[in-house]
Amino acid sequence: MHNVIYWLKVALINVAVLFVLLELTAFSIYRIQYGANFYQHPPQVELLPEVVQGRVALKKYLHPYFGYLNYPPGARFGNRKYNNFGFHSAGVDYPYVKSAPNEYVIGIFGGSVAQQIFVKSRADIIRGLKADERFKDKEIVVLTFAQGGYKQPQQLQLLTYFLSIGQQFDTVINLDGFNEIVLSEKNSRQGLSITMPSAGHMLEMMDILNQSELSSEKIEALADISRLKRKINRMAESANQSKLACSWLWATTLRKRAYRTLNESIVAYQSIPSRPSEDSVVYLNPSLEPLTRDQALEKAADYWRDASILMHKVATANNIKYVHILQPNQYFGNRVFGPEESNVAIDHSHNYSANAIEGYPRLAARIDDFEQHGVHFASGLGIMDSEPGMVYADACCHFNSTGTKLIAEFIVKQVLDAHRYPFKSHAVNLVEQVVDAD
């Protein structure tokens, strides 16, 4: 009997030690990924929309000027509130009009990474600017005009539209380059003009709008996507409700696996030929001529440059500082990845990888043009190089809180430089280096 009790105690002690080790490991992983204490700053994973008014939702809403919105105006989803134009603006409706002479308004334009900077690091931008003598007495207001998948000329259109309805800006920050390359080439493969909004976003929405034209194969694919979204949301809710770091890690690991499956299902869905109705309510301009992959990437880089120069001219004509920053990514640059981050961030089977690797040198070839036109341009490719911790959150292009903070610090530096050196371009040379598969 004493032996049984003894071994029972040993087993309980081993279980307790194992639990403590698991909890410490999960806590460390959370701190590395998010740069925060799990118990002080618990996770808040955003849920995916599943069904809207009885129909499968692919997180898209048609807009006559912007192409699409990821959420409808005035929507509340999770802990996020979307304003009267469908932007996650911390409750601020547009146009925002200054209420005091010392207010300083900054608009952030771009895609999902630019939106990330607003959500996670706008406080870092405000704090960094107010540390400078020129901004210490300013009431800094940061607004977002970014949404996932946006690419030029959407930023240009957004700027001109909001200026036309009275939106005030002191500085416009355009963080882009990645979507312009990876999504424009995808448009070309779909037979659409690379100047159109992202085909991957628009065609999904068009299929929903034209549901009578959906093939049975597409209906089955949509049902599979909806099922996977429900599964991911259950895991996200489990992660958000976790009181222990190890339970968060388990739920997060399962969610990441399901997310990969979801992305594969969406790619498969997009590969199924659409049968657009002749009476479709949405029209996307086709490509004027068939383009090879190289031609599509070259033209995408041209449009990226030209749209930014036009944004600069529009901003300058309205006495607004314009700062253009090339978005960093994990597939092109000098960053050395550890095994853990490489597992999270590097996936050369991802359909964005090859486009980023082949497209970014083409962006680099056009950098000198910005200086000739007086654009304050800065490459963000080296921002992450000296950071020893993890900065990437997925294999697409997104960052954890450490990464967004580094980008926010870079933005602060560029805004300050734009005021110190009007129209000075920081067109540093881009290294022609890609990240190895391992």
Residue 143 φ then ψ, to 5°: -120, 150
Q: Is the peptide bond before 153 cis (omega within 30 degrees of 0)?
A: yes
Q: What is the pLDDT of residue 85?
A: 94
What is the C-alpha to C-alpha distance for residues 319 and 339, in angstroms, rounded to an integer?
47
> Strands 103-110, 80-81: parallel, antiparallel or unpaired by DSSP?
unpaired
Q: What is the pLDDT of residues 368-420, one digit of tens each?
A: 999 999 999 999 999 999 999 999 988 889 999 899 999 999 999 999 999 88
Q: Write out the two tokens for 92.
A: 């601020």
Side chain identity, residue 417: D
Contact predicate 107/172, CB 8 Å: yes
Q: What is the pLDDT of residue 2?
A: 66
What is the C-alpha to C-alpha distance for residues 301 and 360, in angstroms, rounded to an integer?
8
| Superfamily for the 52-198+288-420 domain | SGNH hydrolase (3.40.50.1110)
Q: What is the pLDDT of residues 173-216, one digit of tens each?
A: 999 999 999 999 989 988 889 999 998 788 767 766 666 556 67
Q: What is the pLDDT of residue 279?
A: 59
What is the C-alpha to C-alpha distance for residues 188 and 354, in angstroms, rounded to an integer?
15
Q: What is the pLDDT of residue 211?
A: 60
Side chain identity, residue 364: A
Q: What is the pLDDT of residue 432?
A: 44
In sign, the C-alpha dihedral spanning 271, 277, 278, 281 is negative
Q: Write out the two tokens for 181.
A: 């390359």
What is the C-alpha to C-alpha distance for residues 222 and 234, in angstroms, rounded to an integer?
19
Q: What is the pLDDT of residue 36?
A: 73
Q: Write out the two tokens for 358.
A: 């082949």
What is the C-alpha to C-alpha distance for residues 158 and 370, in angstroms, rounded to an integer?
21
Burial 381-420 (b: 16+ CB within 10 A, else e): bebbeeeeebbbbbbbbbbbbbbbbbbbbbbbebbbebbe
What is the C-alpha to C-alpha distance for residues 329 and 413, in angstroms, rounded to an integer?
20
> Strands 61-63, 67-69: parallel, antiparallel or unpaired by DSSP?
antiparallel
Contact predicate 68/205, CB 8 Å: yes
Q: Write out the two tokens for 366.
A: 């056009």
Q: What is the pLDDT of residue 77?
A: 66
State the CB neighbour count (10 A cutoff) for residue 182.
Answer: 28
Q: What is the pLDDT of residue 209?
A: 65
* pLDDT averaged over 10-residue windows placed end to end, the chain, 438 residues: 71 78 77 72 65 48 88 74 88 93 97 94 96 94 96 98 97 97 91 90 71 67 79 81 81 80 75 62 80 94 98 97 96 91 86 91 94 95 93 90 95 93 44 46
Contact predicate 78/44, CB 8 Å: yes
Residue 359: alpha-carbon gap to chain centroid: 18
Q: What is the pLDDT of residue 113?
A: 96
Q: What is the pLDDT of residue 437?
A: 41
Contact predicate 49/77, CB 8 Å: yes
Can you give the pTM of this predicted structure? 0.79
Burial 95-107 (b: 16+ CB within 10 A, else e): ebeeeeeeebbbb
Q: What is the pLDDT of residues 101-110, one digit of tens each?
A: 999 999 999 9
SS3 (DSSP) at 174:
strand
Domain range list for the chain? 1-41+211-275, 52-198+288-420
Q: What is the pLDDT of residue 214?
A: 62
